[in-house]
Amino acid sequence: MHLLITAGGTREYIDPVRFISNASSGKMGYALTGAAQKAGHKVTLISASDLQPAVGVEFVGVDSAAEMFKAVKKFFPKCDCLIMAAAVSDYAPVKHSKAKIKRSGKSLTLKLKPTADILKWAGEQKKVKSKKGKGKRGKRQIVVGFALEDKKLRERAEKKLQEKNLDMIIANTPSAIGAERSTVQIKMPDSRWSKIEKVSKTTIARRIIVEVERIATKRSGR
């Protein structure tokens, strides 16, 4: 399969040196990339992280949510599965100053606008990829999302799974940010919740790739 994976926290610039962002390290997206490679899959990594990509990965570096959306739109039609592990900013400054904003001693009001919902777009756009050759059935693209919630974890994650037309949701809490070991919960539309407790991101990544492979195999009728 060809997997499209996003990683890192986007940066929404206020001026040339200041930006709003989040605490995402990008480690989960990079762990997924490594697991997918080891499983024999082709990977395109769209990253807003400062981490170095592995050898053999098609790498696309981005900064902002808008840049990530542009890259996803470019590569999504060619992939079999999109895993949106990136922490994309929900808001960006309405205006971006071309020059560094000088200190004045006065209050500064920052007006924000919502960014594009990349995951929702992908859920709406996923289609059946046709196979070459007479009588060959196509496979519908797989879209996987993450839900970081501090309250009502399963309830909010399942709502995201349904509303954004996803094939899998991975739910976790803010304690997972930057942690070497964390707990996640996984659900597909036709399955119960599955919980993986206090394991490395590498272990979580391997499990997610296995679940993606199961979905793909089921759809191929093998």
State the catalytic residues: 22
Read off φ and ψ for residue 56, nearest 5 degrees: 95, 0
Neighbours of 28 (CB within 10 A): 29
Distance from chain centroid for Cα 18: 24
CA distance 26 to 153: 21
How far apart CA 26 and CA 85 sit, in angstroms, is 8
Secondary structure (H, E, C), 15-54 = CCCCEECCCCCCHHHHHHHHHHHHCCCEEEEEECCCCCCC
What CA–CA distance (Å, rounded) separates 97 from 95? 6
